């Protein structure tokens, strides 16, 4: 039997008891209380929640319940005594000359009706038999313990999860409302909004999925947790799981960009010259990268060796197209990349996706040009300076020195 169920069972039986004499007499009361406190001890061991947290909340709740039940104007104090395995309830009033607060004060005259020994400043206290509200106490105990358990577990789960922001976690789909998918993480509910779902994502209640913890913020009704499967960090964390060299710090993901469901570009670097960063990410027979692609439902991934030479890095970023030349303007952070004509569509990509991702990966604006346009530009420039004597001069090889920078063949 679980500790939580055991505690509920004890409280339920206490609540069910109809004969208040049986509840409050002799050893039976002691055994009920002993079991109750033992259940709290077990709960503390299992859930790592201090017993005092429940006792303080329960004392406060029992005071409110007693006053509501009896309508007494007196101040009430409930003492839970784990060392004696018992619960005691006291009503008390302070003895004063002139009463201002009827709940907490009693006149000297009235106090001496109870006992002649009382004087101003004394405290008139009487123990209240639990038979006066045994059932109410049981109901209150059950409600408070369960409510406090939920609160504390929620706080603990939030505290633990707050450390997982920007991390990858596994979770279970609990419900789907329109296009919003609600998942459970550490007993807390998180939302996967439509814009954070990949185009091919299809979920059913009960599915176990991986998500990236995008944002956690406190709310009036508890923490608000937003998760995602479309951000670049999702792919980065997947590679960290699959590639031990990344977790070990040997390989670094220098930059990563993504258009979810279609293509990811990732630049990697190895601090160990003997380890191939790209090969390590791909894995034996593509095993590692295929595991990531499978989670991404077939999304294409370009893994590029990072380079501190921006011209070469730009050329690599346009992979899978082969770039033959790059011309850059450092001041404006823009570059012109030249590819063979048959590579132009590959370099640009569908709807400009490949060139767009390459620009994001490098942080530079990239203008992709075909080799034929470069020849045409060169011919036009030559004709503007001098008329060619040879009608076939425009077909001669291009003088690459006319570029501001000649990068040669980057293949």
Does domain 172-229 correspond to CATH entry 3.40.50.1820?
no
Domain 316-411 has CATH 3.30.300.20: yes
Torsion angle of alpha carbons 395, 398, 399, 405, nearest 10°? 160
What is the C-alpha separation between 64 and 89, in angstroms, rounded?
12
pLDDT per residue as tens digits for the range 254-264: 999 999 999 99
Catalogue the E-assigned strands of 206-341: 208-217, 224-228, 251-259, 263-270, 300-305, 323-329, 334-339
Per-residue pLDDT at 245 exceeds 60: yes
pLDDT of 389 over the 70 cut: no
- Using CA atoms, how far apart are residues 138 and 59, in angstroms rounded to an integer? 12
- Separation between Cα atoms, residue 277 and residue 253, nearest integer Å: 9
Residues 184-228 have pLDDT tens digits of 987 788 999 999 999 999 999 999 999 999 998 876 667 789 999
Domain boundaries, the chain: 3-158, 172-229, 231-306, 316-411
How confident is residue 402, by pLDDT bands cut at 50, 70 and 90?
Answer: very low
Let me know if the fold of 231-306 is the same as that of 316-411: yes
Give tens-digit pLDDT for 270-321.
999 999 999 999 999 999 999 999 999 999 999 999 999 999 999 999 999 9
Residue-level pLDDT at 261: 94
- HSE, side-chain direction, 13 A CA sphere, residue 348: 12
d(CA 362, CA 311): 10
Full-model pTM: 0.64
Most confident of 26-35, 105-114, 290-299: 290-299
Share of the chain above pLDDT 90, in %: 46
Tokens of 51: 């017993």
Instruction: Indicate the pLDDT class of residue 116, thresholds 50, 70 and 90.
Output: confident
Q: Per-residue pLDDT tens for 46-74?
A: 777 777 887 788 778 777 777 777 776 66
- Give the chain's largest Cα–Cα span: 133
Alpha-carbon separation of residue 371 from 255, 342, 359 (angstroms): 29, 9, 20
Q: Are 322 and 340 in contact (CB under 8 A)?
A: yes
Answer yes or no: is pLDDT of 340 > 90: yes
Which residues 6+ apart lie within 8 Å of 207 measured at CB? Answer: 172, 173
C-alpha dist (Å) from residue 85 to 52, 258, 397: 14, 62, 99
CATH of domain 3-158: 3.30.1480.10
CATH of domain 231-306: 3.30.300.20
Q: Show the tokens assigned to 295.
A: 């989670």
Q: Assign residue 174 a region: left if phi > 0, alpha if psi is -120 to 50, beta otherwise?
A: alpha
Helix (H) or strand (E) holding 182: strand 180-185
Cα(117)–Cα(122) distance, integer angstroms: 9
């Amino acid at each position: 039997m679980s500790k939580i169920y055991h505690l509920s069972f004890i409280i339920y039986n206490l609540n069910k008891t109809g004969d208040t004499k049986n509840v409050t007499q002799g050893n039976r009361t002691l055994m009920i209380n002993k079991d109750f406190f033992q259940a709290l001890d077990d709960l503390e061991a299992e859930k790592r929640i201090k017993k005092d947290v429940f006792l303080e909340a329960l004392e406060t709740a029992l005071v409110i319940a007693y006053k509501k039940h009896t309508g007494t104007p007196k101040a009430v104090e409930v003492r839970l005594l784990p060392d004696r395995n018992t619960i005691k309830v006291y009503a008390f009033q302070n003895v004063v000359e002139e009463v201002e607060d009827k709940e907490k004060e009693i006149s000297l005259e009235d106090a001496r009706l109870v006992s002649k020994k009382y004087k101003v400043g004394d405290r008139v206290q009487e123990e209240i038999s639990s038979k006066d509200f045994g059932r109410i106490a049981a109901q209150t105990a059950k409600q408070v313990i369960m409510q406090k358990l939920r609160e504390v577990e929620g706080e603990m789960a939030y505290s633990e999860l707050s450390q997982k922001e920007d991390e990858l976690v596994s979770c279970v789909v609990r419900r789907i409302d329109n296009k919003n998918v609600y998942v459970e993480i550490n007993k807390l509910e998180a939302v996967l909004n439509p814009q954070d779902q990949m185009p091919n994502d299809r979920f059913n209640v009960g599915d176990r999925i991986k998500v990236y913890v995008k944002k956690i913020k406190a709310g009036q009704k508890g923490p608000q947790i937003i998760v995602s499967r479309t951000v670049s960090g999702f792919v980065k964390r997947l590679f960290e799981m699959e590639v031990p060299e990344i977790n070990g710090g040997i390989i670094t993901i220098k930059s990563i960009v993504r258009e979810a469901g279609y293509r990811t570009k990732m630049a990697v670097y190895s601090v160990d010259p003997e380890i191939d960063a790209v090969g390590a990410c791909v894995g034996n027979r593509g095993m590692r990268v295929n595991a990531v692609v499978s989670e991404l439902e077939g999304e294409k991934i370009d893994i590029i060796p990072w380079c501190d030479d921006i011209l070469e890095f730009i050329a690599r970023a346009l992979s899978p197209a082969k770039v033959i030349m790059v011309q850059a303007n450092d001041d404006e952070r823009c570059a012109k990349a030249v590819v063979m004509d048959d590579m132009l569509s590959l370099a640009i990509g569908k709807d400009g996706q490949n060139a767009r991702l390459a620009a994001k990966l490098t942080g530079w604006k990239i203008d992709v040009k075909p080799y034929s346009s470069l020849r045409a530009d060169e011919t036009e420039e030559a004709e503007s300076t001098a008329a060619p004597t040879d009608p076939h001069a425009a077909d001669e090889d291009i003088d690459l020195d006319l570029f501001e920078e000649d990068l040669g063949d980057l293949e």
